[in-house]
Chains A and B, each alone.
Chain A
Amino acid sequence: MAAVMPAPAASRLLLSGNEAVARAVWEAGVKVAAAYPGTPSTEMLEVISTYPDLYAEWSVNEKVSLEVAIGAAYAGSRAFCCMKHVGMNVASDALMTLTLTGVIGGLVIAIADDVGLSSSQNEQDSRYWGRFAHVPVFEPADSQEAYAMTLAAYELSEKFQVPVILRMTTRINHVKSLVQVGERVPHVGAGFRKEPGRFVMVPGNAGKRIPLMFKRDSELRALAEISALNFIEPGADRRLGFIASGPAYMHVKESFPEAPVLKLGFSWPVPFEKCRELAALVDQVVVVEEVEPLVETELKAQGLNVIGKEILPLQGELAPNVLKPAIARLLGEQVPAAQAIAPMQVFPRPPTMCVACPHLGVYYTLSQVRNLTISGDIGCYTLGAGHPWNALDTCVSMGASMGMALGLDKGRGEADKDKRIVAVIGDSTFLHMGMQGLLDMVYNKGNVTVLLLDNRAVGMTGGQDNPGNGRDIYGDDAPRVDFAKLVAALGVKEERIHTVNPYELPVLFKTIRDEVKVPEVSVIITDQPCVLIKDYHKLKPFEVIEDRCTGCGNCIDVGCPAIHVTRRAKEIKPSGREVDLAFVRIESSVCTGCTLCVQPCAPGAIVHYAPVSPIQLVKKGCPA
């Protein structure tokens, strides 16, 4: 994205939490910002890259992004790194030692927890990392707080020379609310100064840093006790008092406007005395936290009589429709009716692959090959697990398709003796964490056919650039990975590497069928771009000639959302077998002419769309 003139200071802007953090990062004088895309965190770096006076990058994975940020912070510059919750699992190796060295320039790590699983494989509570790594955690409750806390986090980070975690959730990252923004204050880094006792973490040096880390914990706890980010709002109804953080604070205020609340913005180390102060005000303290009972457990260990997950769910958001009934039950009050009418039953509408998506050809083909076990990965192509393909059998973590395929091969039971193991992975996921798995597979002589779906984008998060498409975060030219050479360098035999066009179904089918029979590692690279990025070029659309359609339904099995059923019927075959027929039409206005549905159409009913123009109509109507 091109740099734009940032909105002037004192403007009141409608910003998402992600946009608010990006603004604060710029205002804080950050010099280096790095991330790997991941919902709901992606827009932070996207927006940061539109600001001037800083360097932003898409890193190949979260660990690398954190390491880039650490380097910049060691150099004395302010640095920023963000990721979705599962990204920190990858980056944590660096975090756990970073906490010993600390930083010179301020370093803020924003972690976006997908509470409610809008687009993730699991639900995690990133506040654990604060406790695990002994680093402070800030938790904003809306965009204004996300903005203000990011600025405050840089101050704290430099004062204590410690990285600070900004724990966000989907309901902060993606909610838009008003933010009053300020001026950018340039930050001048001191430059890197050699200090091996601090920056070279060998046992002798690291051992000396551990007591400093624990001392810092105590100092941070003392600061949390007096921090303005932690405050009590005394209410009139003293039966219950709430301790809440993040979006849960807003839900509590919405649900129980008269109750005293201790709002935790600087939520770890937990300010125990502040909590006791609230407890003294009320009959009973309830801790409202998304997701895990962390504050609750620590308060119980302090001897405080608090309630939390005994009455509140351990999963999902703690919105008013969850809180109100739970608290009513606790108080022995009548549970309020949920709503006027019950939800009506409507079919599910799961996400689908796009019209003409190059993955359609891959999954259609995989669904036609028998006897496969398909080790999947994380990206748009995870949708291959759904209808109509049902051609993806596992999905665990980024890059897992590789190692898991090898494990499925080496660990095969008697029943799987003749199964062919296929792994499916996208270009960006392969570069993120798949390369090592493939190396392991080759080194250990696995029998796996790898489908590397190179669509030149991080598709699921919105088509971000990556080292596979030759563009950086600014859209500028960057060195482009040659996947065929890369996998060859990892040891895949040249004759086992094939690059195919996923829209050429017969070639794709033959290549897959041939390679699964070879008891070695094969890599089949598909090379057509995501339909949502600028590299994709639309072709002439198709339509169905109604009279020619026999209702066989082959085209429906491709799974393209442009194909619609016009009517259904049943046919009795000469054998007496009854078959279901589905006659179709193509929504030509969205068709981009990929030909995937044309190829399996036996009667040749799908032809290029030829709209009848008004001029032709006039000509027909007025014979010369």
Chain B
Amino acid sequence: MASIWQYANPRKFIETTDRILPWVAGSSLMALVVGLVWGFFFTPDDYRQGSTVKIIYLHVPSALMAINGWIMMLVASLIWIVRRHHVSALAARAAAPVGATMTVIALVTGAIWGQPMWGTWWAWDPRLTSFLILFLFYLGYMALWAAIENDDTAADLTSVLCLVGSVFAVLSRYAVNFWNQGLHQGASLSLDKEENVADVFYHPLLLCIAGFVLLFVALVFLRTQTEIRARRMRALLARERLG
């Protein structure tokens, strides 16, 4: 069995992801359609929150992916720093807009849910605030990528920013918790099943989460392919200019 690092070859990466991308995208679509339809139409209303509770099928998965997206970028950045595989840096770059979009979805669905529940679109609750800060980190990260012309320099700088940003993001989370104890309900899911949302909501929610994970993977694969091709094109143009 060859080493896992062979997939760090750009060509190999594109070949492999080309093969599995339709399956990932297809199963993502399946899971999302089934999960959302099941969740929206075939679960009872919550006795306190009514039907508004059903927005968790979008809110929880997108919030999870907003955080996991950043963690994936962190891992990819570390791989770039240690092993200097270009695909890894480009995957981190590709994941950023997807993660940022997930953050926006989480914030917007949260606002829509919060309005009838708390009577306000926005509250400076620790969780909401942390997500807003996370969104700012995504923005800064993407802006830095966009600002630097040399790809390797950009990869190095954004990797360090991602590392430092991660530390500060965690720090901000604690700071925000200290600053304001909030309204937000506790985690809806945990491995300890006793504390979970009721079973009827639980299964479609799991399906939706799986769908979002697969959707994220599919989008990141697709965007990484694009980044690889764009990078290759820039390299060829640079080579041509130099003659």
- Do they bind each other? no
Chain A residues in the interface with B (C-beta under 8 A):
none
